[in-house]
A = this chain, B = another copy of it.
Amino acid sequence: MRVVVPYRVRDPKTRLAPVLDPEERVAFSRAMLDDVLAAVWGAGRVPEVLATEPLDADLPDPVAVDARPLTDAVNAVLDAAGEPVAVVAADLALATPAALARLFDAAGEVVLAPGRGGGTNALLARHPQFRVDYHGASYRDHLSACETIGAHPVTVDSYRLGTDVDEPADLVEVLLHGEGVAGEWLRDRGFVLAVDGGRVGVRREGE
């Protein structure tokens, strides 16, 4: 089984712009990638990065570069793989080896870990005809794709894999549940939980 982690190098995490400047978004995005790669290693697998541009990473294989949109780049990997492929989003800052092991070890021709808002945060394709479509409500579309090709889909019920980090509110999750460098990075930059009238958000100390 291959484990592919797609990664957008330029101008990442634009929806975090209200709380992080462009350089910070690059650094935070990289910290999340490093946490995901560490979790894949921790689950006993060798991660591969599929990046939109060249990138330095301490991995056995050089980072593959494909500048096309995510769906096309991942499907090119699936076209050529000839073996099961797991695709794990690079912004799963809560991912742990145990959570990923549930994905990797689940039975099923296609294993899906849904994300908030209809996304597919991680998947494992064992069926040779399965292809991804990340646009829109991809979880629903991936279930339909399974039906079309006669593949049996299985869902992994994981809060950690279901939490991708896109918006300022998502930083709460990283501060509370992150076990890697992304949470540390936020704390080092002064981010703390802000409890206001029962709702929980983040604020930056001194702001």
Contacts and interface: CB of A to CB of B under 8 A. Distances in A.
A116 B117 CA distance: 13
Interface string A122-155: 0000000000000111011000000000000000
A176 B142 CA distance: 12
Interface stretch (A33-41, A42-50, A157-165): A157-165
Nearest to A141: B195
B98 A176 contact: no
Contacts of A199: 117
A68 interface: no
Contacts of A193: 118, 137, 140
A206 B44 CA distance: 51
A55 interface: no
Given A137-B200, A139-B176, 11 more contacts: A113-B159, A114-B159, A118-B176, A118-B193, A118-B200, A137-B193, A157-B159, A157-B160, A158-B158, A159-B159, A159-B161
21 contacts: A98-B157, A99-B157, A113-B159, A114-B159, A114-B176, A114-B177, A116-B163, A117-B169, A117-B172, A118-B195, A118-B200, A119-B200, A137-B172, A137-B176, A137-B200, A139-B176, A157-B158, A157-B159, A158-B158, A158-B159, A159-B162
